[in-house]
Amino acid sequence: MRPVLLLAWNYLREQRVFLIVLSVYLLVGTGWLALSKETPQLDDLSFLVKQQAEYAIVFGLFMTSGAIFNDQRSRRILLVLAKGIDRGQYLAGIYLGSTMALFAYLFLSWLASAVLLSRVGASVSSLAAVMTAAGIATLLSAAIALFYSTMMHPVLAVAAAVLTMSVPHAFAILLLPSFEAVLPVYAISSAVIGWDPNRPLALPSYMLSIAIVEAVVFFVLATVTFRGRDLALSVD
Amino acid sequence: MQPALEFDHVGKSYKNFFGRSEAVALRDFSLQVNPGEIFGFLGPNGAGKTTALHIAMGFVRASSGGGTILGKPFGDAATRRRIGFLPENVALYNIPAERSIRFYGALNGVRDPELRDRTRKLLGEMGLEGVRSRKVGKFSRGMLQRVGLAQALVNDPELLVLDEPTSALDPIARVEIRELLLRAKAAGKTIFLSSHLLSEIENICDRIAFLIKGQIARLGTVAELLEASGKVEIVARGLQSQVLAPVRVEVLPSSNGVVRIRTEKARSREMLEAIWQQGGEVVSMNPARASLEEIFLQLANASERKQEGA
């Protein structure tokens, strides 16, 4: 477990500029809205909350899809994988690091949203559910992107991940609505977009359970695929 | 005795997107590195040296054949804890030198206080004490190579796999690293060393393998390889080198009125008589020692000629 934590912490450190920019953006935005003389509208704040939650899902896709590629391109991966760690541990480090970054972002978003919603007297009771749902959708989207990134360029991995998540959604529209439960990133995302601060989040809890299980499955698939691949480095 | 590193009929070809073989890096490559020896691995660019090292470390998989490293199949993660690896181009995360060495040591399961002590000792040995807190992103190539060597040694490995360990170092640092490797050998460690610096290989290696186009072209101890020319070198004085022109011999550059002649062992008697007849004096006669550079060039040229002929 220690190597995974070391790699996760290293990954977080590598992403620190991105995290600092997001944190400052949230802090400045919240401060500006909280301190302005005009009271913000509930609809505007609600939109802001949903936007943060959706951003996390998109960031999850991009962060994990580029991690292996960046380490391979810079050749830093060689010294890491020359140590007594399994490739699965290396991937777990990346996945844990990106999850920690995104959950930190969602936590900050939750704090900022809670401050602002309280200011307009809106309920914050379902806010935690929105952020949790977004966090779980992030876990799944990141795992799918990680799986594809073990064999593809990051841009293609993002495209493949988006396509993979779109297929059940398309089937749900064209064939059977219950297809939404397969890879339910779109379903969770739609529920977050449709969220009303005065009502509970309209999302069955089994969707979240399915997303967690599928995230684990995609992570295992990523590990198996990555173990069987040559590190694509030019030779002398 | 179990070899420290063994390649058993390893083949490796790189394939393109459609599965067609694009380049063959290794062909039926077999080699054994014995425990406690320093083994030199030589070959021109593109010979397959790095591919062989990467297969041993488990970065790439052999297309055919296999092998063991410290008695376990290539790619075994637990075994890598007992190995120190230095790649040709050292690439590190941009953190301070001391933290970098600690990071790689910790990945290999080394814990404090052992990790702290070893890191400090290595920083001293590599001449990095003064820059321990500086981020490696600001380091020169030579300094990066020192950090790379330190991280390879931090787990006190049984086997060192080094790809061009001194290519970016100045002559003083090269001597220091050479001494460090000899100390490691004296401590019972095995060193598998790929290098283009032939004098370095000649000075410290017990055995050498020349790899040409993915195959072992020559293998042996340094003495065996250097003396395997089947020629003798005669040093004579008191005669002009021109008088030897009619005799088919190789006259080597020399000074102080001394003539150095290299000829086939079978013709040594004929040569000695020719020198005496010309009034010369034979100073010495020894088996000719070809330099590693000569052997290297000879093998590389032979390979090129063979390719052109084909």
Domain extent for B132: 5-225
ipTM > 0.95 (yes/no): no
The confidence band for B107, taking pLDDT boundaries of 50, 70 and 90, is very high
The confidence band for B7, taking pLDDT boundaries of 50, 70 and 90, is very high
- Other CB atoms within 10 Å distance of the CB of residue B177: 21
B32 in reach of chain A (CB within 8 A): no
Taking contacts as CB-CB distances below 8 angstroms, the residues of chain A near B148 are 79
Does A232 fall in a domain? no
Whether the per-residue pLDDT at A136 is higher than 50: the answer is yes
Gap between the Cα atoms of B166 and B186, Å rounded: 20
What confidence tens digit (pLDDT) does each residue in B158-188 have? 999 999 888 778 888 888 888 888 998 999 9
Taking contacts as CB-CB distances below 8 angstroms, the residues of chain B near A6 are 103, 106-107
The confidence band for A161, taking pLDDT boundaries of 50, 70 and 90, is very high
The confidence band for B58, taking pLDDT boundaries of 50, 70 and 90, is very high
Residues B275 and B144 in one domain: no
What confidence tens digit (pLDDT) does each residue in A167-218 have? 998 998 898 888 888 989 888 988 888 888 788 888 888 999 999 999 999 9
A·B CB contacts under 8 A: 83
Inter-chain CB proximity B106 and A3 less than 8 Å? yes
Whether the per-residue pLDDT at A27 is higher than 60: the answer is yes
The CATH number for B276's domain is 3.30.70.260
Contact criterion met (CB below 8 Å) for B25 and B64: no
Considering chain A, what percentage of its residues have pLDDT values greater than 90?
Answer: 46
Taking contacts as CB-CB distances below 8 angstroms, the residues of chain B near A236 are 45-47, 49-50, 88
Does B292 fall in a domain? no
The CATH number for B200's domain is 3.40.50.300
Inter-chain CB proximity B25 and A236 less than 8 Å? no
Q: Token pair for residue B240?
A: 């002009």
pLDDT on residue B291: 74
Give A29: exposed, middle or buried? Use CB within 10 Å, 0-12, 13-18, 19+.
middle
Whether the per-residue pLDDT at A94 is higher than 90: the answer is yes
Out of A94-108, A118-132, B97-111, B205-219, which region has the weakest mean confidence (pLDDT)? A118-132
Residues B200 and B247 in one domain: no
Domain extent for A70: 2-227
pLDDT on residue A167: 92
Residues B154 and B279 in one domain: no
The SS3 call for residue B30 is: strand
The confidence band for A235, taking pLDDT boundaries of 50, 70 and 90, is very low
The confidence band for A85, taking pLDDT boundaries of 50, 70 and 90, is very high
Averaged pLDDT, B231-258: 70
Whether the per-residue pLDDT at A20 is higher than 70: the answer is yes
Inter-chain CB proximity A86 and B108 less than 8 Å? no
Does A233 fall in a domain? no
Averaged pLDDT, A55-59: 88
Residues contacting residue A165 through CB under 8 Å, at least 6 positions apart: A141, A144, A183, A185, A186
What confidence tens digit (pLDDT) does each residue in B71-92 have? 999 989 999 999 999 998 889 9
Inter-chain CB proximity A85 and B107 less than 8 Å? yes
Residues B252 and B127 in one domain: no
B100 in reach of chain A (CB within 8 A): no
pLDDT, averaged across chain A: 89
The SS3 call for residue A191 is: helix
pLDDT on residue B121: 92
Taking contacts as CB-CB distances below 8 angstroms, the residues of chain B near A75 are 87, 89, 91
* Residue B59 C-alpha, separation from nearest chain A C-alpha, in angstroms: 6
Q: Token pair for residue B253?
A: 């550059």
pLDDT on residue B265: 79
Q: Token pair for residue A120?
A: 């307009």
pLDDT, averaged across chain B: 86
pLDDT on residue B279: 83
Taking contacts as CB-CB distances below 8 angstroms, the residues of chain A near B93 are 10, 13-14, 76
What confidence tens digit (pLDDT) does each residue in B245-283 have? 656 666 666 666 788 887 887 888 888 888 888 888 888
Inter-chain CB proximity B106 and A235 less than 8 Å? no
Residues B133 and B272 in one domain: no
Minimal Cβ distance to B59: which of A13, A78, A85: A78
In sign, the C-alpha dihedral spanning B173, B194, B186, B105 is positive
Please indicate whether residue B157 or residue B239 has the higher confidence score (pLDDT).
Answer: B157
Taking contacts as CB-CB distances below 8 angstroms, the residues of chain B near A80 are 107
Whether the per-residue pLDDT at A226 is higher than 80: the answer is yes
Q: Token pair for residue B128?
A: 């990095």
Gap between the Cα atoms of A127 and A201, Å rounded: 8
Residues B282 and B192 in one domain: no
Does A236 fall in a domain? no
Q: Which residues on chain A place their C-beta less than 8 Å from a C-beta of chain B?
A: 2-3, 6-7, 10, 13-14, 74-76, 78-86, 89, 228, 230-231, 233, 235-236
Inter-chain CB proximity A84 and B61 less than 8 Å? no
Provide the number of structural domains found in chain B.
2
Residues B96 and B117 in one domain: yes
Provide the number of structural domains found in chain A.
1
Whether the per-residue pLDDT at A234 is higher than 60: the answer is no
Whether the per-residue pLDDT at A236 is higher than 60: the answer is no
Does B208 fall in a domain? yes
